[in-house]
Structure 1
Amino acid sequence: MFTGDSGNKQRKDEKMKITIIGCQGAYPDQNQATSGYLIETENVRVLLDCGCGVISQIQNYILLEELDAVVITHYHPDHCSDLGCLQYASMILMQFGKRKKPLAVWGPGENERLSYGEYCTGNSYLEEDVFQIGDLVFASQKNVHDILSYAIRVEDRKGSSLVYSGDTGYYEDLSKFAEGTELFLCECSLYNWQKGKTPGHMCAEETGMAAKNAKAKKLCLTHLPPYGNRQQLLEEVGHKYQGELVLASSGMIFRQ
């Protein structure tokens, strides 16, 4: 059982740390979670998306009161369904003195959905917005999905970057947005035989093409389908992208 770090938010490791909390699309397998990615620096901890099972899983890595902010890419349940429970947690933890300040919650509009009394502060971002959380700078780009949805780029003060595609179909500007990133967390919802069958999502070769054109240094396939042999995705993506390639899994950690 994780016992935390006695409330000491400063990490000795100065590198940006990214932990995969959940990586499955639509619904999670047993003991897993849908989209959720924990980003940590020396002085801030931010959760990128908060899907089904994420609040349970994240407690394997940090205490809930140690979380500074949440950034939601869009309002489909597999990306935000645990937000309500996290808002309850923020309330209870503040009432008992374990949490000292409100949780900052960022999302594409709908501030009333993001805010929760004095316990969670809602903040809106729009297309091509740039906003800062601690020592991290976030940029947004509207992507291609069936509801309003964004890709997110995150950079630390040393210039290290990660780009998260969010849920999206293929579009050329995604590669420009992700250009040169150290880590590209890119959705890979479909096998190649499913290309075009689910608008607003990418098949493996499209994911590979997006990463290739971005010249991403490392590609992590995420938002994985809840069926089939997921190892096959690596082979299919590899026909387009020849850089460092991994399949996301819960607990996977990147430092950069």
Structure 2
Amino acid sequence: MRQMTVLGSCGAFPEPGRACSGFAVEWDGFRIALDLGYATLPRLLALWPDGALDGIVVTHEHPDHCVDLHGLFRMRLYGGGREPRLPLYCPPGVLDRLSGLEPDVDLRAVFDVHPLPGTHRVGPFELTALPLPHYVPNVGVRLQAGRTVLAYTGDTGPDPLLAELGRDADLFIVEATDRPGENLRSERNLMTSAEAGRWARQAGARRLMLTHFWPGNDRATSVAAARAEFDDEVLAADEGLVIPFPAARP
């Protein structure tokens, strides 16, 4: 099975029935999560009972992208199992932020931490993480297995590295916060859906998925704005949506 499942799609805080940023990637039995924001852990456990995954990539330390990592930590620490430490790929601030919730136990008792940005071999994937602008250190993530590419921005403002991150990606997951007045701010740390479409076009991506929707925004309006800039398929991240990876290209 080779597919990606949306665990959560909201930015800042979850809307009713939804969750914040998170994606579950499976490739021939290898399982990896990208971000675990608010309310993503129950969805991950429904998909992969007992948290049976092989690695986690967290783009940055904001809780709407990482807070449920703490729930997974407690499950592994106190759940009675003897699993090996779980590989965790993240910028340094992630553990610093979460350690405040668990000051008496070192999170490294559960997680085998690998710093980002950088390049790592993660099961069948080559993981490349590029620094992108945000309020705290953030990385965009590119997972490549053979010629199949999944790219994900985390949270970011406009930046030329977006074209490199999503270059020829089969699926480019791009934040499209559309926070009111975002395009008028002098310092850009988030993006609009129109900008997401523009960067996906510059990257030559095959499909664009918008995510990190500001609570209360009309997602259909966001998709329409991205489609005005990107000629190929535009999807809105939706909890439970499953995207199969395409067959290998020659």
Same fold? TM cut 0.5? yes
The answer on 1:235 being equivalent to 2:221 is no
Partner of 1:195: 183
* Equivalent of residue 88 in structure 2, options 100, 105, 111: 105
Q: Which runs of no fewer than 5 residues in structure 2 stay unpaired?
A: 99-105, 246-250
Return the offset for 1:85. 1.1
Q: Of 23, 37, 45, which residue of structure 1 is paired with 2:23?
A: 37
Q: Distance in 1 between matches of 2:94 and 2:224?
A: 41
Match of 2:248 in 1: none
Q: Which residue of 1 aligns with 2:48?
A: 62
CA distance in 2, matches of 1:59, 1:100: 16
Could you give the per-residue CA deviations for residues 36-60 of structure 1, whole angstroms, max 9, x where no partner exists? 1001111311111110011112122
Q: Does 1:210 align with 2:199?
A: yes
For structure 1, the 5+ residue unaligned runs are 1-12
SS of equivalent to 1:84: helix
Number of the residue aligned with 2:75: 89
Question: Secondary structure of the residue that 1:153 maps to in structure 2?
Answer: strand
Aligned match of 2:66 in 65, 80, 97?
Answer: 80
**Distance of aligned partners of 1:240 and 1:193 in 2 relative to their CA distance in 1, 3 Å threshold:** farther
Give the aligned partner of residue 13 of structure 2.
27
Once residues 45 and 254 of structure 1 are traced to their aligned partners in structure 2, the CA distance between those partners, rounded to angstroms, is 15
Percent of paired sites with the same residue: 25
Task: Mark the CA change 1:204 to 1:111 in structure 2 (over 3 Å): closer, same or farther.
Answer: closer
CA apart distance, 1:192: 8.2
Alignment RMSD (CA, Å): 1.9
In structure 2, the residue matched to 1:176 is 164
More off after superposition, 219-228 vs 194-203:
194-203
Amino acid aligned to 1:74: H
Contact 1:109/1:124, CA 8 A, preserved across alignment: yes
Q: CA-to-partner distance for each residue in 1:223-244, whole Å, 9 max, x for gaps?
A: 1110131110111111111111
The normalised TM-score by structure 1 is: 0.86
Normalized per residue, the structure richer in strand is 2
| Other structure's SS at 2:47 match | coil
